[in-house]
Amino acid sequence: MTTQRGTEPTDRKTLVIGGTGKTGRRVVERLAVRGLPVRVGSRSGEPPFDWEDPGTWEPALDGIAAVYVTYHPDLAFPGAAEAVGAFAELAVREGARRLVLLSGRGEEGAVRSEDRLKASGADWTVVRASWFAQNFSESFFLEPVLAGELALPTADAVEPFVDADDIADVVTAALTDDRHTGRTYEVSGPRLLSLHDVAAELSGATGREIRYAPVSLDDYRQTLAENGLPAEFADLFHLLLDGRNATVTQGVQEALGRPPLDFAEFAGKTAATGVWSG
């Protein structure tokens, strides 16, 4: 791919891995609005992409110039760094030199994946994200919100929840503008919130009571098991409990020249969609 500084690639496609997920589908939408060709990387895509089946990787990379790399279920899981490294090396060999990796703040396993991706020789950008505000509306925590009780193992820990729209804007900029090459952006929301604060914001936005009920990690692991989810998800709460991410970062401002969206704004616009109406 040949681009000038600050210009967008238009001759070849961008592969968006996880293109139906929280950030991926938003990136797909933004690229499409710009008239840029995009391929959705998913098991149901054409051609399909599956992290667990390396045989799907090369066909998905055919004709691709840039890739948004998201790993499922999480970069902190065993085997993630090896898979991301192998994929990145293949992508570069196939001509997809621009790779933008969605990473996690404070995750040692995620850093290993970052290092493996950088070692591929790609023109890389890393976007390290705080916990998504959309976790309360599109995935893990939606059912608890609907039930009116957030039973989670976070004690009084705080987190600067980041809006997935901000992440998508940063990723899209990194995919289409080479001024972001070689940069690591730590993206967060503009303020720290405890789960008590989150419950209050959600209560105000929905007009009904939503409360926070702290539980132990062991109890939460049992809840995950009962719902058929990996118990390893509970380990990610250590990232909140030990305070390593209890700071606001400036990644959105650095990448986009504007402040990030506040959780209250997320709650208001999401409540208006009716997703929390039950």
Strand positions, DSSP E, the chain: 13-17, 38-41, 64-69, 98-104, 123-129, 149-152, 158-159, 184-187, 193-194, 211-214
Q: Which residues contact 235 (CB under 8 A, 6 or more apart)?
A: 76
pLDDT tens-place string over residues 59-89: 999 999 999 999 998 898 889 999 999 999 9
Q: Over range 167-177, report the average pLDDT.
A: 98
Instruction: Name the average pLDDT for the chain.
Output: 93
Distances (CA, A) of 76 to 156, 234, 270: 23, 12, 29
pLDDT tens-place string over residues 240-264: 778 899 999 999 999 999 999 999 9
For residue 54, say if its preceding peptide bond is cis, omega within 30 degrees of 0.
no
Please give the torsion angle defined by the CA atoms of residues 136, 166, 193 and 224, in that order, rounded to the nearest 10 degrees.
30
Q: What is the pTM of this model?
A: 0.92
Instruction: Tell me how far apart the alpha carbons of residues 276 and 149 are, in angstroms, rounded to a whole number.
Output: 13
Q: Using 50, 70 and 90 to split pLDDT, how confident is the model at 11?
A: low
Give, to the nearest 10 degrees, the angle between helix 263-271 and helix 195-206. 40
160: nearest Cα among 126, 133, 184, 199: 133
Contacts of 132-135 with CB under 8 Å at 24 or more apart are 132/22, 132/23, 132/161, 132/162, 132/163, 132/164, 132/167, 133/161, 133/162, 133/163, 133/164, 133/189, 133/263, 133/266, 133/267, 134/22, 134/163, 134/164, 134/266, 134/270, 135/161
Instruction: Tell me how far apart the alpha carbons of residues 265 and 201 are, in angstroms, rounded to a whole number.
Output: 10
Instruction: Tell me how far apart the alpha carbons of residues 149 and 172 are, in angstroms, rounded to a whole number.
Output: 35
pLDDT tens-place string over residues 94-105: 999 999 999 999
Instruction: Give the pLDDT score at 235.
Output: 79
Q: Over range 30-38, report the average pLDDT.
A: 97
Q: Using 50, 70 and 90 to split pLDDT, how confident is the model at 223?
A: confident
37 has pLDDT over 70:
yes
For residue 73, say if its preceding peptide bond is cis, omega within 30 degrees of 0.
yes
Record the tokens describing residue 136, joined without a space: 């309360």
Which domains does the chain show, CATH number per domain? 13-130+163-187+248-261 (3.40.50.720)
Secondary structure (3-state) at 185: strand
Instruction: Give the pLDDT score at 231.
Output: 78
Q: Using 50, 70 and 90 to split pLDDT, how confident is the model at 170?
A: very high
**Read out DSSP for 190-226?**
SS-EEHHHHHHHHHHHHTS--EEEE--HHHHHHHHHH
Q: What is the enclosing helix (H) or strand (E) of 33? A: helix 24-33
Instruction: Tell me how far apart the alpha carbons of residues 5 and 14 are, in angstroms, rounded to a whole number.
Output: 18
